[in-house]
Amino acid sequence: MGKDAASISRSNQTVTVTVPREVAYDLRKIQKIQEDLLGRLGHPGCYSGWDILFRTEIDYTVNAKTLELQGVASRIG
């Protein structure tokens, strides 16, 4: 995340958070992330006025011989 409330532009009220799959489907972990994020946005009790997008991270590798793009099995499913 790396940004705090002072460095996030109020003119662009969209925040994107990319999370690993094992976090994305764990309600308690997502709630902890939301709590931290809302504090950083300066609104610890609500997200009114912010468009928060959660993206699930998926890793890919490239086979050096075939140049085939392959998803990492632990992240896809």
CA angle, 5 as apex, 3 and 46 as ends, to 5°? 115
Chain segment 32-61, per-residue pLDDT in tens: 999 999 999 988 888 888 899 999 888 888
Q: Is residue 9 a part of any domain in this protein?
A: no
Q: How far apart are CA 43 and CA 51, in angstroms?
A: 13
Q: Is residue 19 a part of any domain in this protein?
A: yes
Task: Give the start-end residues of each E strand in 1-77.
Answer: 14-20, 51-57, 60-62, 69-71
How many domains does the chain contain in total? 1
Radius of gyration of the chain from Cα atoms? Answer: 16
Chain segment 19-31, per-residue pLDDT in tens: 988 898 999 999 9
Q: Is residue 1 a part of any domain in this protein?
A: no
Which amino acid is residue 47, in one-letter code?
Y
Residue 74, helix vs strand vs coil: helix
pTM: 0.60
Range of the domain at 26: 14-75
